[in-house]
Amino acid sequence: MVSGAAIGVIVLVSLLAAHPVLGVLMILGLLGAVVATVVRSVRRRTEARAVWAARAQHVEAYQNMSPKEFEHALAFLCQRDGCRDVRVVGGSGDLGADVIATVPDGRRLVLQAKRYGPNSTVGSGDVQKVNGTYQHAHGGHLAAIVTTSRFTRPARDYAVRVGIRLFDADALAGWTSRTGPAPWH
């Protein structure tokens, strides 16, 4: 018994033997499709590298700022992206809020800024502090922690449970370069 695939191959070979020009056209079409796929793949990788390089420059600039400058930079990003009533309130005793703003849809956002080096991490204690204060102490509807580094697994897990948004260095770079969302989206 001959399988359907074998019959298909036999028919194709017979057709190509009878019409060699058709075979050449099929091979050229297949080669064209392969070349187009490779070109698209190279273009995507090149574009992704350019975006990553631009993002890396943004994060490095933030890491070179003082903590106060970083808070003001986040306030600027909020204003740039349509927030109003933006205030920098950080400092000792800030109760987990460095920037408070009203986002474009009217919700009150509380941002905690953590300007750390690339080898440091933000832990769950910081997320717990923000969670304990953003609603009652600051009247926030939503909260986000923005860092120039990354978050520990327990911090990420806890933030998911309580609905606090975490913006690591990559997300911050995306927000800054407008290749990613703002913390309230």
Sign of CA pseudo-dihedral 53, 54, 58, 59 = negative
More confident residue, 72 or 43: 72
The dihedral region occupied by 82, where left means phi > 0, alpha psi between -120 and 50, and beta the remainder, is: left
More confident residue, 168 or 43: 168
Q: Is pLDDT at 1 greater than 70 in this prediction? A: no
Mean pLDDT of all residues belonging to the chain: 88
Residue type, 18: A
pLDDT digits (tens, 9 = 90+) for 24-42: 777 777 777 777 787 787 7
Q: Is pLDDT at 48 greater than 70 in this prediction? A: no
Identify the weakest region by mean pLDDT among 22-36, 48-62, 73-87, 159-173: 48-62
Closest Cα to residue 165, out of 134, 119, 121, 120?
Answer: 134
Give the pLDDT band (50/70/90) at residue 51. Answer: low
Q: How much helix, strand and coil, in percent to the nearest 5, is found in the chain?
A: 55, 15, 30
Q: Is pLDDT at 2 greater than 70 in this prediction? A: no
**pLDDT score recorded for residue 50:** 61
Closest Cα to residue 140, out of 173, 169, 106, 167?
Answer: 106
Three-state DSSP state, 105: coil
Read off the pTM. Answer: 0.71
Q: Is pLDDT at 129 greater than 90 in this prediction? A: yes
More confident residue, 55 or 110: 110
User: Is residue 54 classed exposed, middle or buried when 0-12, 13-18 and 19+ CB atoms within 10 A define those classes?
Assistant: middle
pLDDT digits (tens, 9 = 90+) for 72-113: 999 999 999 999 999 999 777 788 899 999 999 999 999 999
pLDDT digits (tens, 9 = 90+) for 148-160: 999 999 999 999 9
The number of helices, as runs of H, and strands, as runs of E, in the chain is: 6, 7
